[in-house]
Amino acid sequence: MRLEQLWRSRSGRLSVQVLEECYVAVTRKLDPGMEPAQAREDIRALSAWRPLPIDASLVEAAWDGQSVQGVTVVNPFLHLAESILRAGR
């Protein structure tokens, strides 16, 4: 889906971590940086995307099964060791 489509349908999501990193980047890393009050206003506007709280289970679920440069990432907590080894052969 395109960003515009996600915005219109209100189905896009951000994480709280992304919002925090955005705030730090625009207030501390940019030169010139954004004023903290303006950055907070922008973060509030982005919060309309209903930020997801990040926890270990969400991170682990996101990793499982993804392929990166030909390597498939497997969450060892979701699969038996034997099945992981068989799949790698």
Interval 10-46: pLDDT, tens: 777 777 888 899 999 999 999 999 999 999 999 988 8
Which range of residues forms the domain containing residue 33? 1-54
Nearest 5°: CA angle at 21, between 9 and 73? Answer: 75
Looking at the structure, tell me whether residues 40 and 76 fall in a common domain.
Answer: no
Looking at the structure, tell me whether residues 50 and 67 fall in a common domain.
Answer: no
Overall domain count for the chain = 2
Rg (CA), the chain: 18
Looking at the structure, tell me whether residues 71 and 32 fall in a common domain.
Answer: no
Looking at the structure, tell me whether residues 31 and 73 fall in a common domain.
Answer: no
Looking at the structure, tell me whether residues 4 and 36 fall in a common domain.
Answer: yes
0.85 exceeded by the pTM?
no
Q: At residue 13, what are phi and psi to the nearest 5 degrees? A: -140, 150
Cα-based distances in Å from 45 to 56, 58, 64, 68: 27, 24, 31, 33
Looking at the structure, tell me whether residues 7 and 34 fall in a common domain.
Answer: yes
